[in-house]
Structure 1
Amino acid sequence: MEDESKENSCTSSLCCISHHPGFRGSIKNSTADFVVIEINLNNQLVNVAHLLPKVCTQQSEHSGQCLGDKSEEKTVKPLNNMPNTGGEIQMAPYTSEPCDSADMTVASEESLDLDFILDTSVNEELIQFAMITRLCEDTSEKCSSAELSLGSYPDRNQRASVHRAVRQRFPFLMTMTKGSEILVKEDRHYKELCRLVSEEESEDFFRFLDAKVQDATFTFKPDDDKEHRKAVHHFVSKHFGKLVETKSFTAVDSGGQQKASITVRFRERNKPSKKRKAADTQEDDVIYTGFTLQKENLETLEAISYLAKALGVLPSDFTYAGIKDKRAITYQSMVVKKVSPERLRQMSAEFQKKGIHIHHIHPVSQPLRLGRLKGNHFDIIVRDVRAHSGDCTSDLKQLVQEALDNVKAKGFVNYYGPQRFGTAQSVQADQIGLALLKEEMVMAVKLFFTPEEGSDPQNKAKQHFLQTEDAKESLALMPEHKVRERLMLRALNRYGVGQEGCTRGWLSIPHSMRVFYVHAYCSRVWNEAVAFRLRQFGDRVVKGDLVWSTLEDKEGSKPSLCQVHTVSAEEEAEHIYKLHQVVLPMPGNTIKYPDNKVGIWYRERFAKDGLQSCRFRVTPLKLNIPGCYRALLSYPRKVTHHILEDSVGAMNEETPEQGSQTCGQSLSPLSLSLSFDLDPSCYATVYLREIMKCDP
C-alpha cells in the first residue's frame, strides 16, 4: 500500500493499494470516449434489444415485469403448460385460503422440475442455499434471516409454479413474493415442527399444505402421548388455523391395540366478498412503464427533470437503480409512474432533441429500487497515453499490462468518485448535505443556489436570488428545464426565505434528490476514513477492524450470507482475515464503528463538523439515514484492452511495436481502449486512478 504524492501527479490525498509505475492519459475528451451500460440482476446489459422476455411481448396488455425493473431480475426459463394456481402468492407461504377445486390440478412432473423451471446458475445457487440452511443448527438470526433471490417472474402463473416447485423440492424453505421477485428463506415453522415430529413427517406435512388439494387429508403417525398430541394440535392451529383444522381419532392397529392419531384437513373455503376497497381500485389504476434511458452529457436527475416536465408528471414519479455519469453516453433502466407505454413512445422524438433516447418501452407492475442492479459495464478510451515523469524509454504496452494485472490481482481502493460530489463546482453536494444534517436549512438553500462560473441563464438566476432573495424574480429567470431549482424557488416564493420557508423549499423537491446530498456527505466521510485507515494500518487487518463474517467467498465478490464482525486481537495475530474482507461504515443510525483508531477518527470528524449529537435523522425533511457498510476494496471483472494509434486506428495488442516511445521518435499519439465491469456503486474513474497512478 502506498500514499499518493506529487510525484505521481495525484491531486488528492487518497491512497492506492498496488505498486506499479502507471502511466498518464486523459479521459472524457468526448462523451463517446466514456460509455456506461447498466448490468441488470440477470447479468445482462440493458441496452441489448433481445432482453425483453417473450412473456412481455406476448402479453403486453398486462403489467408484466420485464427488462428495466432492476428490483426484479434473474434468468428464468419460459414455462409451458403451467398449472393455474388461482392467485397471487403472498408474503406468508401458507396463510392464503385453499384454491377452488378447478384450480387444484395436480402439477405436472415437468412443472415441478427445478432444472426445467430455473436457469442453471439460479438452480445451483438455490441448491447451495438449501444445503447451508438444512445444515445450519444455529437458531439465531444469522441463519433464519438469510434470503436468496430467485429473480423476477413477470407472469403470475409462472410465479406460482416456481413457488410450488421450490417448496415441493425443499419443504423446509419458505418462498415469498415481493412485486414479481421471488425470495427464499428458511421456514421457521418447519424447524419448530421438527422438534415435535420426525423430519420425514414434517416434510410430508408441508408438502401437503403447499399442494392445497381441497379434499385431501394428512395424518400424523399414531401417538399415545396425550400431551404431545396436544402440542401438535396447538402448533398446527397457531400457525395454520385459518387454512386447516385438526382432529384426533382412535384406531385399532394390527396388534389389536388402540392408538390415537391426528388428522389434518383443509377448511371449507368461504366465498370472498364482492366489495372492493377504494385503495384496491386505486392500485389497479396505477400505470408503470419501464424503459431503457440513453442519455448523453446529462446528469440522471437532470434527465429525469426534463422528462417529467415534458410528460407532465413529477420527478418523483421516476425510479431507477442508480445514478450514471454526466459527461458520458449512458444506458440505464428506469420506470415512470402514470405514463403509458404509448404516451412514452409518442414523446420519444421530442426527447431526442435533448440528447435523450428511450428504448425497450414496456409495461411493468411496480417501480424500481436503488441498488437493484448487478453493476455497470464500461467502454472507455484513455487518450494521449504516455509514461510518467518524462520517461521516454518505457515500453508502453508493458506499463499498461503490468498495471492491469496488478489491479486485477489486488483490487483497488473502493473510493466514491468525484462525480459523487459534483466535479468542477464551487459548492459540492457534500457541503449541502452537511448543512441539511445540521438542519441549517437557510444555509443549505444558499449553498444550493451558489452559481458556477459562467453567465448562462441558470447561473444568472442563482446569482439574482443570492443578491436579492427575491424568489419570484429568480423563478422568472430560471430556465424551464431546471426543475429542481424551479420547485425550490416556487416554494420559497410562497413560504418565504426564512427557516420554515427553506424547509418547505427542500420538501418541495423529491425525496431521492434531498437524500442525495446527505449521502454525498456520508460518502466524503467514508473516503477520508478509508484514506486514514490505510495510512495507519496499510494492508494489515488489525484488531477493531470490521470485516464481513460469512461463508468463504471468492475474492472481491459480495457475500450473500454475511454479518459484520469486529476483529479480535487473537484473529489479528493469526491473520484470519484478509484486506478484501474489511468494510468501513457509511455513517448512519444503525451501524457500528471500528473499535480502533478509525472509530476514534469518525467521532472526531463528526465533532469537527458539528455533528456530535447527530442521529442521522432530519425529521423536518423526512430523511432517515440508517447507514451501511462498504467494502474497502473492489475488483474489476471481464477486463479487456487494446492499444490504439489515433491517426491509424486500432492496433492489435499483440503487435510488439505498438508501445515503444523514445525521445528521438515522433510517433502518433497512442490511446488505450478499456472494457470492464464493476460492481454497483463502484467508480470507473477510481479504478482508472489506481491503474494510472494519477487522476485521469
Structure 2
Amino acid sequence: MEEDSCRPFMFHSSSYMNGHIGFCGSIKQSPSDFVVTEIDTSGQLVTEITTDLKSKETLSEQLKICRHDCKIPRLSSPELCIEDSALCTAESVPPSTRGVGDFEDKNVFGWQPDKVATLDSLLDNSVCEQLRLFACNTKDTWNSKSEPAVHPSEFSLGPVLDKRTRASLHCAIRQQYPFLSTVTRCGEIMVKANQDYQELCHLVSEEEAYGFLKFLDARTEDTKFTFKPDGNKEHRKKVHHFISRKFGKLVETKSFPDSQQNAVVVVRFRERSGFQKRTNVDRREKQEIYAAFTLRKENLETLEAIGYLSSELGVLSSDFSYTGIKDKKAITYQAMVVKKITPKRLKELGKSIEKKGICVANVHSASQPLRLGQLQGNHFNIIVRNLKQHSSDCSASLKERTVEAIENVKVKKMEIINYYGPQRFGQGQNIQTDQIGLALLNEELVKAVRLFFTPEDTDDPVNKAKKYFLQTEDAKGTLAMLPDFKVREKMLLRALNRYGIDQEGCCRGWLSIPHSMRIFYVHAYCSKIWNEAASYRIKTYGTKVVNGDLIFAEEGTANSSLNAKVHVVTYAEEMADKYTINQVILPMAGYSIQYPANKVGEWYHERLARDGLQACKFRLPALQMNVPGCYRHILKYPHNLSYSFLKDNENEKVTEDSPLEDSVTSLSMSFWLDPSCYATVCLREIMKCDI
C-alpha cells in the first residue's frame, strides 16, 4: 500500500514500541499475497465450518424442547450495558385507559388485559423496579436542560430463550412504557429510549405522543387516532411529514376541519387483505428466515460485495449482517448471515457472482443475524515481497535484519501499538472516511454529501458519475450513470432526487442509508482521534503507567455498566508499579465515556475542540445516530507468529542454509490477531516502515 502523499497518515511514524532496526518490503502486490480468514467465537476458522447431520439434529431437538416448554419463566436481575445508542432514560408515565383523540369503531389501543401478560407476571419484582428506574432516568435525561448525569443507554433483561415469553415482554413493555423501545439480540431483550417518541414530543404534547405510540403498537383493525385540534397549517404539515417518514408503510394521515379555523390530523392503518393483530402463534409461524454462509471475496470491499449480493438476491443491503469489515485488496473469508433468503436460494447463485470476485460456501440455516465484534479474531497469511534493508542500514545482512525483527516480536513477545490501520480511513483516496465522519458530527450534511461523492483520479464509470453529480447536482441523471452494485450511492441519490440537496434533503439522504453504513464514517473519525491519542500517550509517558491512566477494573462484574468497569490509576498505584502498560486503555471519543485524568485527557478535549466538537456533539438525533464511545487497549500482541523465506515468482521456500539474494526473496508470515486489530499495523511495527 502506498501512502497518500496529499494527506498525513493517521499515526506518527516515530511511535514504535520495539528497538530493532527492521527492513523494507511491499505487501498486497496481488490479492493472494494477503489472505484473511475470520475466526469464529468457538476458535474455528470460518473456512472449516461444516453443517453435518449431527449438528442439525441437535438443533432440531433444542427447538422441540423450546416448543414444548409452555411454562413462562420469570427473569432474574438484568445486566446494564452501553453500546452505540442514545444515552436516554425516563420518568414513568401513568398508563392511560383510553389515550388521546376521537376514536371510532373500537378502543384505539385494542388492549385486552385479560388476554395479555403483564410485566408483573413476567418479571421478578426486583427486575420490574430496575426497569421502572431505567424509565425514570430516561425521562429525566430528556427533560434535563443541563448536561445529564451518565446513565446506561440500554437496559438488559438478560437471555430469554422462550419466544412466546419474548413476544409477551416486548408487548408489555411497549404498552406500559411507549417512550421505550425493545429489541432482541441473540435471545437477549434490550430496552432503550424510543427516539421516535422524543422527536414526536417536539411536535405534539407528551400526552398525544404517548397515546399515538400505544395506538401503533396495538395495531387494532378499524381504529383511528386523532390529534388535538390545530389551527397552524404549517405545524400540521410537519406532523403529517413526521408520521409519513417514520410510519408511512403502516399508517396514513389526513386533516379534517374541526371548528372555526382549526383542523385535526387523523391517523388510520393502511388497508391490507386479511389485516389483523398478530398473535404469538402468528409470530412463531412468521419467523424471519435466515441463511448463514461463508463469504469469500477478492479485491472487493465488504460493503461492495454485499451490494452485489443484495442486487442478485433482490434484498436490501441492511438484510445482511456480519462481524466486521475486511480488507479490500486481499482474499478474505468471513461469516455472514442474510435474512429473507433460504439456503436453497443462496446456493442457486452459483457462478453468477464469481465473475465479481465473490463466492459463497458453507451455506446453512441460521436462527438469528450476526453482530459486529462477534468473533474471536482474524487469521492472516501474508507475503511481503521486494525485501531490502533500510537505506541507512549497512551493519548487518538482510536476512539477519529480517530474522531479528520477527524474532523480537515473536520470542520476546513485544507488544505493538494497537492503531487502527489505513484501510479504516480509505487510504489513498482523495477524501477519507474520517473527513465525512467529521462533517456528519458537525451536522454539515450538505458538505458530507459532497465529500461522499468526491471522485478519485480515474475515469471509470463510478468516478465519471461522481464528477457529473458535483458539477450539476443532477441526482436523477447520476443515478442512471451508476452501476447497480453501488448500493450506498444509489440509495443516497434516490433520496436527494426526491427531497432536494439542501440540509433537509441531505438529512433524508443519509437516513436512507442503513445505520451500520452511516455510523461507519463517524467511527472512522473516532478511530483517527484514537490513533493520535495513542501516539501522544506513548510520546508523553512512554511505557510507564502513570497517575490518571485508565484500566479495566479487576473487580468489574457482568452486571456493571461499562464505565463502572473502568478504573483511574492513582498516584499511589503509580509509585507501586501496580499495573503494566498492556493494561492501559484509551477511550474512543463519545458522549458517555470518561477520559484519562492526566495530560492525555486534556489533549482529548483540546483536540476535539479544534474540530468543533464537544462530548454532547456525539448525539445526532436528526441522523438517528448516537456514539457513546468505548475503550481500546493501547497495546496488543500477534498470536502464533510463524514465518519462512520464499523465492519470488515460484513461492518456493528457501532453506535455512540457502543464500539470501535481496532481489529474488520474499517473506511469508502467518499469525492471528484479536478482533479490530490490523495486520498492516503489526507489519509496520515489525518492519519499521510505513507500508
Scaled by the length of structure 1, the TM-score of the pair is 0.66
Match of 1:19 in 2: 19
Cα deviation digits, residues 399-437 of structure 1 (max 9, x gap): 223222322422100000000000211110000001111
Contact 2:589/2:629 (CA < 8 Å) preserved in 1? yes
Does 2:593 align with 1:586? Answer: no
Do structure 1's residue 314 and structure 2's residue 313 form an aligned pair? no
Partner of 1:481: 485
- Paired residues for 1:393-412 under 5 Å: 394-408=396-410, 409-412=413-416
Conservation of the 8 A alpha-carbon contact between 1:647 and 1:668: no
Name the counterpart of 1:29.
Answer: 29
Query: 1:352-371 maps to which residues of 2 (within 5 A)?
Result: 352-371=354-373
Partner of 1:42: 42
Residue of structure 1 in register with 2:137 after alignment: none
Q: Once the 2 structures are TM-superposed, how far is the Cα of residue 85 of structure 1 from its aligned partner?
A: 7.1
Checking the alignment, whether the CA contact within 8 Å between 1:146 and 1:561 is kept in structure 2 is no
Deviation track 1:351-373 (CA, whole Å, cap 9, x = no partner) reads 11211100111111111110010
Greater mean alpha carbon deviation, residues 632-641 or residues 55-64? 55-64
The alignment partner of 2:567 has SS state of strand
Q: Which amino acid aligns with 1:536?
A: T
* C-alpha distance in structure 2 between counterparts of 1:62 and 1:498, whole Å: 56
Residues 668 and 63 of structure 1, relative CA distance in 2, 3 Å threshold: farther
| Equivalent of 2:679 in 676, 679, 684 | 684
| 1:56-108 CA-partner distances (Å, limit 9, x unpaired) | 444788998xxxxxxxxxxxxxxxx999973698682699xxxxxxxxxxxxx
CA distance in 1, matches of 2:35, 2:157: 34
Instruction: Give the equivalent residue in structure 1 for 2:669.
Output: 674
* Partner SS state of residue 553, structure 2: strand
Q: Which residue does the alignment assign to 2:444?
A: 440
**Structure 1 residue 347: deviation in Å?**
1.2
- Does residue 657 of the first structure (1) align with residue 658 of the second (2)? yes
* Partner Cα distance (1:303, 1:45) in 2: 20
What CA distance in whole angstroms lies between the structure 2 residues aligned with 1:83 and 1:618?
A: 40
Aligned residue runs from structure 1 range 51-450, under 5 A? 52=51, 54-58=53-57, 86=69, 92=75, 179=186, 277-278=278-279, 281-282=282-283, 284-285=285-286, 286-389=288-391, 391=393, 394-408=396-410, 409-450=413-454
Q: Measured at CA, do residues 450 and 43 of structure 1 come closer, stay the same or move farther in structure 2, by a change above 3 Å?
A: same
Q: Which runs of 5+ in 2 are unaligned?
A: 79-150, 164-183, 190-275, 557-561
* Equivalent residue in structure 1 for 2:625, among 620, 623, 626: 623
Q: Which moved more, 1:615-624 or 1:38-47?
A: 615-624
Give the drift of 1:606.
1.1
CA contact (8 A) 1:293 1:359 kept: yes
2:566 alignment partner, SS class: strand
Q: Which residue of 2 aligns with 1:599?
A: 601
Indicate how the Cα distance of structure 1 residues 626 and 613 shifts in structure 2: closer, same or farther if over 3 A, else same: closer
Q: Which amino acid aligns with 1:92?
A: L
Aligned to 1:193: none
Structure 1 contact 651–658 (Cα < 8 Å) conserved: no
Instruction: State the SS of the aligned residue for 2:617.
Output: coil
SS in 2 for 1:290: strand
Contact 2:157 2:188 in 1 (8 A): no
Matches within 5 A, 1:455-466: 455-466=459-470
Are the aligned partners of 1:10 and 1:695 in contact in 2 as well (CA < 8 Å)? no
Inter-partner Cα distance in structure 2 for 1:30 and 1:639: 22
Distance 2:659 2:489 in 1: 50
Residue 542 of structure 1 corresponds to which residue in structure 2?
546
Q: What is the aligned counterpart of 2:472 among 468, 473, 478?
A: 468
Deviation of 1:318 (Å): 0.4
**Residue identity in the other structure for 2:519:** V
Distance 1:429-1:581 versus aligned 2 partners, 3 A rule:
same
Q: What is the deviation of 1:548?
A: 2.1
Distance 1:562-1:499 versus aligned 2 partners, 3 A rule = closer
Alpha-carbon separation, structure 2, partners of 1:459 and 1:283:
47
Task: Kindly provide the amino acid, as one letter, of the partner of residue 483 in structure 1.
Answer: V
Within 2, Cα distance between the matches of 1:392 and 1:11? 30
Q: CA shift at 1:643, angstroms?
A: 0.8
Alignment CA distance shift 1:369-1:657 (3 Å): same
Going from structure 1 to structure 2, the CA distance change for 1:357 and 1:393 (only over 3 Å counts) comes to same
**Cα distance change of structure 1 residues 88 and 305 upon mapping to structure 2, 3 Å threshold:** farther
**CA offset at residue 13 of structure 1?**
1.8
Range that drifts further, 604-613 or 332-341? 604-613
Q: Is the 8 A contact 2:495 2:505 kept in 1?
A: yes
What letter corresponds to residue 500 of structure 1 in structure 2? E
1:657 positional shift: 3.3
Structure (1 or 2) with the larger CA radius of gyration: 1
Q: How many angstroms does 1:636 deviate by?
A: 0.5
Summarize the Cα distance change of 1:88–1:352 in structure 2 as closer, same or farther, 3 Å threshold: farther
* One-letter amino acid of the structure 2 residue matched with residue 595 of structure 1: A
Is the deviation greater in 540-549 or in 622-631? 540-549
User: 2-side partners of 1:367 and 1:343: how far apart?
Assistant: 17
CA contact (8 A) 1:645 1:668 kept: no
SS in 2 for 1:298: coil
Gaps of 5+ in 1: 1-5, 65-80, 96-140, 157-176, 183-274, 553-559, 662-666
Give distance in 2, aligned partners of 1:450 and 1:497.
15
Distance in 1, matches of 2:611 and 2:9, equals 26
SS at match of 2:307: helix
Q: How far apart, in 1, do the equivalents of 2:158 and 2:643 lie?
A: 35
In the TM superposition, residue 613 of structure 1 has moved relative to its aligned partner by 5.8
Distance 1:284 1:583, change over 3 A: farther
Per the alignment, residue 535 of structure 2 pairs with 531
Which whole-Å CA distance do the structure 2 matches of 1:350 and 1:561 have between them? 48
**Percent of counterpart pairs with the same letter?**
52
Give CA deviations for 1:602-621 in whole Å, capped at 9, x if unaligned. Answer: 11111110113633111111
SS at match of 2:348: helix
Shift of 1:652: 5.0
Counterparts of 1:516-527 in structure 2, within 5 Å, are: 516-527=520-531
CA distance in 2, matches of 1:563, 1:11: 29
- Indicate if the aligned counterparts of 2:590 and 2:615 stay in contact, CA closer than 8 A: no
Structure 1 residue matching 2:435: 3-state secondary structure: helix
User: Residue 638 of structure 1 aligns to a residue in which SS?
Assistant: strand
Cα deviation 1:196-253 (Å, max 9, x = unaligned): xxxxxxxxxxxxxxxxxxxxxxxxxxxxxxxxxxxxxxxxxxxxxxxxxxxxxxxxxx
- Pick closer, same or farther for the CA change 1:597–1:314 going to 2, 3 Å: same
Cα separation, 1, equivalents of 2:459 and 2:420 = 30
Cα 1:10–1:22 change in 2 (3 A) is farther
Q: For 1:349 and 1:62, how far apart are their aligned partners in 2? A: 35
